[in-house]
Structure 1
Amino acid sequence: MSEPSRPTRTGTPRRAVIVGGGLAGMLAAAACRAFVDDVTIVERDELPGGPEPRKGLPQARHAHMLWSGGANAIEALVPGVTGGLLDAGARRIPLPSGVVTLSPEGWYRRWPESHYVMGCSRDLLDWAVRERVLRDERIQVISRAELLGLTGDTSKVDGVRLRLADGTEQRLAATLVVDAGGRASRGPQWLRELGAGAVRELTVDAGVVYASRFYRAPKGSENCPIISIQADPRLPRPGQVATIIPIENQQWLVSLSGTRGGRPTDDESAYVDFAKSVRHPLVGELLAHAEPLSEIAVTRSTVNRRRFFEKVRNAPEGFVALGDALTALNPVYGHGMSVAALGALALRTELRRSGVAAPGFARRAQRAVARPAGVAWALATGQDIFFPGSRGRRPHAVDRLLSRYVNRLAETSTGSYYMAKAVSDVMTLQAGLGRLVTPGVLLAALRGPLRPQLEGPPLTAEELAILMSGDPGADPAPAPGGP
């Protein structure tokens, strides 16, 4: 559906203020631009002019999965971005045929394509979106600015207070304020200062630490799959994961992770050994033949946190939170970017339906934005609460029952294309959790796998030879953030 033409109005101009200039903020700006007179993005850092690291995004050094549900949402908000990414070297990787995954229930088969994932660095993705969004003359960025708080009262947010780079303070009027400020967002505090009720918050913290590194991909590996060795939360050991994602410039982005008691570090001498020590040594064996292109980057900001803005008492009009400001997720599940994109798309749908100034708009929009976030929250925490040493919300009887059902779905997926597609519908965020309790899925779960378990990774002999060759081929461009 095409965007409506820019509204023609008299009187006070309508402005949307977006807190944060990252991926979620740019997508929120794209969602709002056709429904207001102008959009102002307030960003604490200086945004780079190209596909380069951003100061406020240390997690960009780690593997990012843009599932097809999120990629489709981004394309709907920013037409042409998918083609731009592919032209810049990103890969459109088919699912499940382009992925070799050891799940808690065994190796998944590489069934014919039903979904896809985009393989690229976070720097490239952010730049591709940012460059297109900022072409719109209605959108401006105030860089190196700190948001001090909201203005208005319990009935209506009517602007924000800023501290600019020169130390001066400024009030910026707004019809709508979108909090896309990420994990560091102070949205609950800002609302409390206006007199709104408390924002209920839940956390599940498995204590995950990431250690990631860029490698040169072997010559001829352009069509080789993503490789992911997943953790099994039922085992009495830390949950450890090893993943290789092919990205632009003939590179691999490798991320290792582990929960409390089994975390990776930036020790170069131990990196490959850690990769070999997870549930299957495939990733470590491939890295032993590959050439590193960067230092090892480590991050610990991985707690799952859900803020229920949609349930706040006395919530004012004119304020909506999305992205990590609403729901921050353990990156191992790869849902953060897709949740932000789907949230922004839901915001645009509500703007189109009623307009930014309609009574009750903010509450309806917040509920719509929260729906895809709730799906991703359930998928992430349904695993993380079972790892040894996990903190925050603890599993109860319903969690254990649901976990057994999900395990059955995963087991069936290893030998049933129908079930693999149904699970992928939800994992890629192209369907809600209700997809997993339809009659067909229930019947397939009752039948179980239709084929026997695979005994090893489903790689062809040709793929394995290429991946193990260690032949770098032609020199690629330097890795993002690398030497």
Structure 2
Amino acid sequence: MTSAIVIGGGLSGVLAATALSHHVDEVTVIESDKYPEQPAPRRGMPQGRQNHMLTAGGAHALDQLLPGTTDLLFAAGAHKLAMGRNILTLSSEGWFRRVDDDAFFIACSRNLLDHIVRQQALTNPVITVLQETKATGLVGTASRVTGIRYEQGTEPERTLTADFVVDATGSRSKTPGWLAELGVPELHEEFLDAGLAYAGRLYEAPAEAAADFPGVLIQTVPNTGKPGAGAAFMPQEDGRWIVSLIGTAGGQPPTGEDGFMEFARNVGHPIVAELMARATPIGEIKGSRGLANRRRYFERLPLPDGFLALGDAVTVLSPNYASGMSMAAFGALALRNQLKSHGLEPGLGKKVQLDIAAKVAGPWKSATSTDRWFPGVRTNIKLGKGTVEQKLAVRWSRTAAEHPGLLKATYQVATLQTPQNKVMTLPLMGALLRGPQQAPLTPAEALAQFPQLGKLLSSAPADLSKVEH
């Protein structure tokens, strides 16, 4: 009889258990929390009270692992927001024009998404979850992991053996130290911390808000010498909205009532503040900090057989890039695909680790290339001058704001459907070389693309649409 252990019962762990369940006789998930019976916050859920968006690429991977999951999300009230049609975006270089495209995000609470995934996955009889149980170490040698040590309640520490062990414990994973205890060389880790912080709140949408009300993204602006500031406004299930305000070191958003609204009014454009003023707050404002970009290079280790790390245990990008849930699904899908090809043969973990590294390389470069330009950045990465890279990023964003083809390519990359190095056709390269050819949209023109906003804001101050970016 073959068995596997997954340490961590969050999204990454549940999806990893699903991938394993088709290739071993039993999977045991070790989870330190107790799952709520209904969609609700829990202690170990990353930024559970902030805005969460599942990219199109992540949604496709999720449905491959658990067919029908996105349909269940939509039936429960999640919103499918096409980036070009359903989200008003103020980029670092201007307002984006509305375009038809299939690149999308799924917007809903993290509570709902995790609950639906657990409902789909944990009815599998192969999977057993030990809740309120804490892993305390790995068992084995530098050449092979054979199980874990764990504690449950007040009982003495026990050992559980398995043919394969997956670390899905997230950014605070202890397995680098546990591997070192087995004699594995030290794990190399990189980080880049722009001091990003979130402040978020739920709202009850006003009755007159349309069912297809758009989301709003106001992106942070790098390389100005000032802290970055941004906002995300997204519809949620049950007629709710969520607002997350974003700031980097020296400009983090406050969690007090007056400061929260004042920050929203001064972040690029006051549209998010105006929407907040027309909605009913639900609960208190919640802050999240410690949101650095971190990457652990497990694929470079002489990795013991029988071991794999995935999800946030490998790479964490600041939530600004909406990639965490998608990367969890990509990692589990890579595990499933390698199991189909190779089963539990030696070297499985290393193969999957290399697949995960290849998948995360592009988003990691994009995130660190942007966040490096905010003041007060801390990092252990050796950064070059990056002048050409920065100029190209500015030119791309300015041109995309007016060029439909380049904007669609931008959305394909942002929703993790296509790597950036795969979207550039000769016509798009030509457009990028020519650069912007039109005057940027004014705020009034940008807002007019979404009539739902105008209907709700008809009582807004007369000069709302005249505030210039």
TM-score of Structure 1 vs Structure 2, range by shorter chain: over 0.9
Counterpart of 1:96 in structure 2: which amino acid? G
Distance between the aligned counterparts of 2:155 and 2:136, measured in 1? Answer: 12
**What's the offset of the Cα at 1:151?**
0.9
Contact 1:218 1:469 in 2 (8 A): no
What displacement does 1:283 show? 0.9
Compute the RMSD of aligned alpha carbons: 1.8
Could you say which residue in structure 2 is the equivalent of 1:433? Answer: 420
Q: Secondary structure at the match of 1:60?
A: coil
What is residue 184 of structure 1 aligned with on the other side?
172
From 282, 285, 289, give the equivalent of 1:296. Answer: 285
**Residue deviations 1:109-132, cap 9 Å, x none?**
110022111010000000000111
Partner of residue 474, structure 1? none
Q: Does 1:26 align with 2:8?
A: no
Q: Which runs of 5+ in 1 are unaligned?
A: 1-12, 472-483
| 382, 394, 406: which one aligns with 2:393 | 406
- The equivalent position to 2:245 in structure 1, one of 239, 256, 259, is 256
Equivalent residues of 1:319, 1:362 under 8 A apart = yes
Query: 1:144–1:339: structure 2 CA closer, same or farther, 3 Å change rule?
Result: same
Pick one of 328, 337, 343 that aligns with 1:340: 328
Cα deviation digits, residues 219-264 of structure 1 (max 9, x gap)? 3332121101111102121101111010101111100011111111
**Of 435, 444, 453, the match for 2:431:** 444
Letter in structure 1 aligned against 2:212? N
Tell me the residue number matched to 2:354. Answer: 367
How many aligned positions are there?
457
How far residue 402 of structure 1 moved from its aligned partner, in angstroms, is 2.3
Give 1:49's match in structure 2, choosing from 17, 37, 42.
37
The Cα shift of 1:141 comes to 0.3
Q: 1:467 to 1:193 in 2, by over 3 A?
A: farther
How far apart are the structure 2 equivalents of 1:165 and 1:440? 62
Tell me the CA shift for residue 338 of structure 1: 0.8
Among 103, 110, 127, the residue aligned to 2:91: 103
> What pairs with 1:125-274 in structure 2 (closer than 5 Å)?
125-219=113-207, 220-274=209-263
- 1:444 and 1:33 map into 2 onto residues whose CA distance is 48
Give yes or no for contact 2:28–2:127 (8 Å, CA) kept in 1.
yes
Aligned: 1:16 with 2:8: no
Structure 1 140/467 Cα, relative in aligned 2: closer, same or farther at 3 Å? farther
Partner of 2:276: 287
SS in 2 for 1:140: strand
Which residue of 302, 309, 324 maps to 2:298? 309
**1:294 aligned counterpart, secondary structure:** strand
Residue matched to 1:321? 309
Q: Tell me, in whole angstroms, the C-alpha distance in 2 between the residues paired with 1:461 and 1:368.
A: 40
1:73 aligned residue: 61
CA contact (8 A) 1:101 1:227 kept: yes
TM-score (norm 2): 0.94
Give 5+ residue unaligned stretches, structure 2: 461-469
Higher alpha-carbon deviation: 450-459 or 426-435: 450-459
> Aligned residues: percent identity?
40
CA distance in 1, matches of 2:427, 2:179: 45
Deviations 1:399-439 (A, max 9, x none): 33223222222222111111112122211111123225554
Match of 1:455 among 442, 446, 451: 442
| Whole-angstrom distance in 2 between the partners of 1:424 and 1:339 | 17
Instruction: Show the counterpart of 2:464.
Output: none
CA distance in 2, matches of 1:166, 1:79: 39
Q: 1:151 to 1:441 in 2, by over 3 A?
A: farther
- Return the alpha-carbon distance in structure 1 between the equivalents of residues 194 and 211 of structure 2: 34
Correspondence for 2:467: none
Q: 1:395: Cα distance to partner?
A: 6.7
- Pair 1:137–1:419, CA change in 2 (3 A): same
Q: Which amino acid aligns with 1:452?
A: A
Q: In the alignment, residue 247 of structure 1 is paired with which amino acid?
A: Q
Matching residue of 1:479: none
Instruction: Please say if residues 447 and 454 of structure 2, whose CA atoms lie closer than 8 Å, have aligned partners that are also in contact.
Output: no
Letter in 1 for 2:259: A
Structure 1 counterpart of 2:100: 112
**Does 2:370 correspond to 1:391?**
no
Q: Which amino acid aligns with 2:416?
A: L
Please name the residue that 2:48 is paired with. Answer: 60
Deviation at 1:467, TM superposition (A): 3.5
**How far apart, in 1, do the equivalents of 2:383 and 2:365 lie?**
14
Amino acid at match of 1:421: K
**Equivalent residue letter for 1:373:** V
Give the alignment's TM-score, normalised by structure 1.
Answer: 0.91
The answer for the alignment partner of 1:38 in structure 2 is: 26
